């Protein structure tokens, strides 16, 4: 497969698909591909992000993470910048998640406005503290903004993973639908928001609601990446 990311724009809806044929790891190729797709989606009225069947994304590419601190920090920085771009994108961004969404995959979900998941068995969450990584500032801020305050500590400090219905209750997902209906449901929701929302008013309100968080993440990114590490073993 030449690229793990594809883009199709149909009726003003930009559809981004992540599919590496495996775990949908977010390595440099996937992160660059999503950024390139967002560049080309700027004139669309809504953006949809799909993973592959059974795996929205397993998170950052572990092969890169284990290639030394500098390599890990560079990739995580790029992931932070992508998540903040999604979080502040001037158009509504919807995610269709089937199966697993782990670590950076879960953070991409938290960066999207509308998160619709399938009833496919899978785990969703932020296991960083259980696999020897601190959850970066952009991850903690996304979790603080999107997850239930009651579940925030379990989801971040304790690295708790959730099935689809639990993930909806905690705040990773907004709705659960049968797997066979996932794509049509997400596209219907994208069409609804594309037609209903005034683009200028949406973009300005986006800034009012989210820019302070984005500014904080970007202002602390250098120091945060300087501290980021992957435990040995």
* Cα distance between residue 100 and residue 121, in whole Å: 8
Averaged pLDDT, 100-124: 98
Task: Give the chain's mean pLDDT.
Answer: 96
211 pLDDT more than 90: yes
Q: Is 175 left (phi over 0), alpha (psi -120 to 50) or beta?
A: beta
233 pLDDT more than 60: no
Give the pLDDT confidence of 9-31 residue by residue, as tens digits: 999 999 999 999 999 999 999 99
Range of the domain at 11: 5-183
Instruction: Note whether residue 231 is domain-resident.
Output: no
Instruction: Note whether residue 217 is domain-resident.
Output: no
Based on the structure, what is the number of domains in the chain? 1
Task: Assess contact for 7 and 40: CB atoms under 8 A.
Answer: yes
Residue 3's pLDDT band (cuts 50, 70, 90): confident
The pairing of strands 5-10 and 25-26 is unpaired
Instruction: Note whether residue 14 is domain-resident.
Output: yes
Domain CATH for 94 = 3.90.226.10
Instruction: Note whether residue 193 is domain-resident.
Output: no
Q: What pLDDT is recorded for position 1?
A: 46
Strand (E) or helix (H) holding 94: strand 93-97
* Cα distance between residue 130 and residue 106, in whole Å: 15
Query: What residues have CB less than 8 Å from 110, skipping those under 6 apart?
Result: 83, 142, 143, 145, 146, 147, 172
Strand (E) or helix (H) holding 52: none
Query: For residues 229 and 75, which has the higher predicted lDDT (pLDDT)?
Result: 75
Averaged pLDDT, 110-115: 98
Instruction: Note whether residue 126 is domain-resident.
Output: yes
* Cα distance between residue 182 and residue 194, in whole Å: 18
Averaged pLDDT, 140-144: 98
32 pLDDT more than 80: yes
Instruction: Note whether residue 28 is domain-resident.
Output: yes
Q: Give the percent of the chain with pLDDT over 70.
A: 99
Query: What residues have CB less than 8 Å from 115, skipping those under 6 apart?
Result: 94, 95, 97, 109, 172, 173, 174, 175
Q: What pLDDT is recorded for position 231?
A: 86
Task: Assess contact for 177 and 154: CB atoms under 8 A.
Answer: no
Instruction: Note whether residue 232 is domain-resident.
Output: no
Instruction: Note whether residue 194 is domain-resident.
Output: no
Strand (E) or helix (H) holding 213: helix 199-227
Give the pLDDT confidence of 151-173 residue by residue, as tens digits: 999 999 999 999 999 999 999 99
């Amino acid at each position: 497969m030449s690229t793990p990311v594809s883009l199709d724009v149909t009726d003003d809806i930009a559809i981004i698909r992540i599919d590496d044929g495996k775990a949908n790891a977010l390595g440099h190729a996937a992160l660059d591909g999503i950024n390139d797709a967002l560049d080309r989606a700027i004139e669309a009225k809504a953006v949809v992000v799909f993973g592959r069947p059974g795996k929205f994304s397993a998170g950052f590419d572990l092969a890169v993470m284990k290639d030394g601190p500098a390599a890990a920090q560079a990739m995580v920085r790029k992931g932070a910048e992508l998540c903040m771009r999604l979080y502040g994108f001037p158009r509504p961004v919807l995610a269709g998640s089937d199966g697993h969404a782990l670590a950076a995959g879960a953070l991409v979900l938290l960066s999207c406005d509308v998160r619709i998941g399938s009833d496919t068995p899978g785990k969703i969450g932020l296991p960083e503290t259980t696999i020897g990584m601190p959850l970066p500032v952009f991850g903690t801020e996304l979790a603080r903004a999107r997850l239930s305050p009651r579940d925030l500590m379990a989801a971040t400090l304790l690295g708790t993973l959730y099935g689809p219905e639990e993930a909806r209750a905690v705040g990773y997902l907004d709705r659960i639908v049968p797997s066979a209906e996932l794509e049509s449901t997400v596209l219907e929701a994208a069409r609804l928001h594309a037609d209903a929302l005034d683009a200028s008013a949406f973009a300005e309100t986006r800034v009012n609601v989210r820019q302070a968080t984005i500014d904080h993440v970007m202002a602390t990114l250098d120091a945060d990446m300087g501290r980021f590490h992957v435990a040995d073993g």
